[in-house]
Structure formats: C-alpha cells, structure tokens
Structure 1
Amino acid sequence: MNLYHSNSEASVKKFAEATKERYEQGLQEVDQPFSGWDFSYVTGSGRLQSGILPWSYGTMARRLLDQTERMLDMGTGGGEMLSRLRPLPPYTCATEGYLPNIPIAEERLQPLGVKVLPVTDDSQLPFADGEFDLILNRHESYDEQEVRRILAVGGLFLTQQVGWSDCREINDRLGIPMPADYAGWELDRAVLQLEQCGFRILEQREANPAQRFYDIGALVYYLKTIPWQVPDFKVEQFRQPLMDIHMEMEHNGFWEVQQKRFVILAVKE
C-alpha cells in the first residue's frame, strides 16, 4: 500500500470539502440584515475593499459647508455621510427615497437639527424655489430641472455618481445584461444635461477604481444590498457562476471588478 499516495488523496479530498463548505456558508450571507446605507458588515472586516478615488467627496462637501447657510442632502440613506460632515449649516434638510431608511435617518439626524423628508419623485421635491445655497448628492438620482429650481442663484450642486458601467464584470460573469434604465449614464451625459439646464460646471472628474471581493459571502451580500445591479438576485439562480468566482477567490485570494465613479461641482447662473 502506498501510504504517501493515500495521504495525498485524503488531503485533496479534505481541501475540496472545506472549499465547498466555505462556498455554501458564503451563499447563506445573502440573508444577513442590511439597513440604512451601511456596508460595514463586509467593509469593516476588509472582506470588500474599494480602490482610492483621486478626490474626496467628503472633503469637497466639507469645504462647501463652511460657506453655506441653507443646505439639502439628497438621498441621505440612513444619514451616515451627512452626520459625519458636522457642524452642519443652520438650516439643513435631507431627503430619502427608500422608506425603511427614513426612521434610521431621523434617529441619526434629528438630534443635529436636520429635517428628513421622504421623496418618491425626483421631479417633485417638497421645497420652495431658491430654498438652498448648496445641494449635496452622493450616489442618488436627481432631476436637474428640479435641482435648479430649489437652488438660489449662485447656489452650488455637488454630486458624486455611479456610472452605468460600474462593476459590469459581475453582470458579465452572471450572464445578466447591465440595467437598461441607466444605459449611458456617464460623466459626459451628466455634464451636458446640467449645462443645458443652465448650470456652469466648475469641476468634473471621473475614475475607475478597482473593487475587490475576498470571499463569496461578501459578493452575495453586496448583490443583495444593491438590487439594481442584478435585479431580483437569487443565489440559487447563479450557483454555477458563483462557484466559478468562488474558486477564483480561493486560488487568487480575491476577485476584482472595476467601479465607475464621477464627481461634478456646478453652479446655478
């Protein structure tokens, strides 16, 4: 009997079983709870990491706040980002379109004097003409005509957006087309629409930072939290491509995709 060969077979079998067990456990993380706009479940432990942008949205916003009296934060999520920008202007409002986030945002922001309002239609915001000096928008949809309406003359609009081609490697591997609703949403289109609406662009930048998933659980959790990437995502529907990605993670230590981000600072003239 060849004991070396027997031990090798046992080791290979044990490794394969452990790999499959990690895969099955990872798929179960799709059921982990998610609230607000807090990805710390996977980012806090380093299981999901994103490349560094050549700008800081937070720093850009912070500089603008210092010269602002009336500000709106569009799509505040659970108020995570806005609460970190304090001290806030004397009059600060926030909107949020995902209703379960409203009580989370209110609990975080109301003690800071921020009024939180639910919004379901970008073209009908519950504010008066020229109500704000500054509008912040991070990864939230907007209607440029409505943004212009509620901004005062000389008011500023700062937005960081996710481009349509963001993380398209995920869709390619799962065999799912990129969302048609956002087709072509990139920096050049956003700039053109703002200019046609009467804004002057003060700054525009775009970047394609890498995003790495270090285990399959981090990926399925991510897809569960951003339903527009793969609508109606169900792990059972994609078991084989997810297994293929899992094996790449096991071999390489990570699986990498390319993000698409752009930032615009515009003024209403």
Structure 2
Amino acid sequence: MKFDKLFLDHISSAQHDFSGWDFAYITGTGRMGSQLLSWSYGSMAIPLVRKAKSMLDMGTGGGEFLSMLGPLPECVFATEGYLPNVPIARHRLEPLGVKVVQIEDDFDLPFDDDQFDLILNQHESYSPTEVRRIISDDGIFLTQQSGGLDCREINEALGVPLNEEFHHWNLETAAEELISNGFEVLTSKEEFPIQRFYDVGSIIYYLKAIPWQVPGFELDPYLAPIYEIHRIIEKKGFFDVSQHRFIIKSRPI
C-alpha cells in the first residue's frame, strides 16, 4: 500500500519521547483535545489537601499534578510503580518535602496502619483492602479512574478487543468494592466525554504512552487501519473516541 506524504509526516511526528505523565506534546499543540467533565478532580482535591495533616498521592507519575496542589501538608508521600517515572517524580517533588516511594504491588504498600488522613488516586490501580488499612478512621479517599470502555473506538478501528483485565472496571464495580471493604461513598459520578484526535501522529503517540489500550502496540502491523483513520480525519477533520471516566469520594465507616 502506498501512503501519502502527509500520513508519513504524521507518523514521523509520533517519534517523540514521553516522560512522566505529560501529554503536552499533543495537547499543548492542539492535536488532541478532550470534552470537559462535569467535575474537576483538582478542585475537589485542593480543599482536602488544605485540611490534611498527612497525605498520600498514589501513582504520582512524574509528580506533575501533586506539585501544583501546594501548600502541601507537612507529611506527604507519593507512590509510583513505573520505574522511569520515579527519578522524574523525585526531582520534582522532593524539594517540596514529598517522599517518593517506588512500589511493585498494590496489595503490599510500605506504610503503617491508619497512616494517612487523605489518599489521592488519579487513574491509578489500587487495592481497596490496602487503602482501608493505611487510611485513618476519619480519612478521605478520592479517586478518579479511567473505566474499562475508555477509547474503545480506537480498538474497534484497529480490530483489537478491549483489554479483558479492565473491561469490567466502572463506577458500579469500584463503588461496590469500596463499600465491601468498609467505606462509605460520599460522592460519585461517571461520564463518557469525547476525546478528539486531529491527526494520526497524535493517536500513535497516545497509544505508545498508554500501552494497556492496545497491549504490545507496534506501528507496522496496524499501518493499514491507521491509514483508514487518517482518511477519516482528512474527510471530517478529526477522529472522535469516547473516554470513560468516573470519580469517587469516600470515607471509612
């Protein structure tokens, strides 16, 4: 199959390093955009941070989000399971007094019982049993999650089934798990906002950054369907997919 120069140029543009959890290369240039949610995770987190004496940010990435929540409590920890992000997070967060801990197992966190009165979790896996162990009896657990149907249209276009490990993951399942582990759900919402891609280079870059969407993604086996997406973008100007987001604010009971 012969590909046009614009398509090849967009593919070339995807060969750009991704670090931490920063999509500015495609969002800051307007190549990918997302419809707004009816809630703001940050706006919900900030007043909780102000009241907290000890807090944990689970899955901090490169520490981008946590670094903007200051002033922070005196005792702050952050975990990260993706090894390349750990030195990035430490470089950004340790000057702010945050202790960054590399973890490998959601079910065995290196923290004491009842250690934190606030636990934040943005798009990170967790064990509700372990969260309940390390949170204080009057603590708050705030999590925003990507659901199992996230960006399913990409998988459909590439002919790849959704990841079975996450397919069940939604608000109902997460809330039930928390309730069964001794939490009361205070606030919860679930929505499917549109995420729009304006060129296939941004899609390729995105898939490389989130390997769970299409496990083992490599460009060559998917050149033909990606070119079909390119043709859709040439005709419509964009390629839309549905995000899957939900948020839960809960406390122990």
TM-score (norm 2): 0.98
Give, in whole Å, the separation in 2 of the partners of 1:114 and 1:79.
10
Q: Which has the higher helix share?
A: 1
**Cα contact 1:210–1:257 (8 A) shared by 2:** yes
Trace 1:99-114 onto structure 2 (pairs within 5 A): 99-114=83-98
Alignment partner of 1:83 is 2:67: yes
- Equivalent AA in structure 2 for residue 121 of structure 1: D
Q: Runs of 4+ in structure 1 displaced over 2 angstroms?
A: 28-31
Trace 1:148-167 onto structure 2 (pairs within 5 A): 148-167=132-151
Trace 1:55-74 onto structure 2 (pairs within 5 A): 55-74=39-58
Q: Give CA deviations for 1:45-69 in whole Å, capped at 9, x if unaligned.
A: 1100011010000000001111110
Alignment partner of 1:223 is 2:207: yes
Identical-pair percentage: 51
Give, in whole Å, the separation in 2 of the partners of 1:65 and 1:224.
32
Alignment partner of 1:188 is 2:172: yes
Uncovered stretches (5+) of structure 1, i.e. residues with no partner: 1-16
Uncovered stretches (5+) of structure 2, i.e. residues with no partner: none
Give, in whole Å, the separation in 2 of the partners of 1:65 and 1:103.
24
Bigger Rg, which one: 1
Partner of 1:66, secondary structure, is helix
Give, in whole Å, the separation in 1 of the partners of 2:107 and 2:158.
34
- Equivalent AA in structure 1 for residue 43 of structure 2: T
Alignment partner of 1:46 is 2:27: no
Give, in whole Å, the separation in 1 of the partners of 2:145 and 2:114.
23
Partner of 2:39, secondary structure, is coil
Question: 1:22: Cα distance to partner?
Answer: 1.2
Alignment partner of 1:260 is 2:244: yes
**Cα contact 1:206–1:262 (8 A) shared by 2:** yes
Give, in whole Å, the separation in 1 of the partners of 2:135 and 2:241.
37
Give, in whole Å, the separation in 1 of the partners of 2:40 and 2:91.
26
Question: 1:28: Cα distance to partner?
Answer: 2.3
Q: Give CA deviations for 1:19-62 in whole Å, capped at 9, x if unaligned.
A: 81111122223421110000000000110001101000000000
Give, in whole Å, the separation in 2 of the partners of 1:31 and 1:244.
20
Question: 1:81: Cα distance to partner?
Answer: 0.4
Q: Give CA deviations for 1:99-119 in whole Å, capped at 9, x if unaligned.
A: 110000000000100000001
Pairing partner for 1:176 from 160, 175, 178 = 160
Query: Which residue in the other structure is 1:5 paired with?
Result: none
Alignment partner of 1:245 is 2:248: no
How many residues align? The count is: 252
Give, in whole Å, the separation in 1 of the partners of 2:25 and 2:77.
28
- Equivalent AA in structure 2 for residue 71 of structure 1: M
Select between 160-169 and 19-28 the one with higher mean Cα deviation. Answer: 19-28
- Equivalent AA in structure 1 for residue 171 of structure 2: L
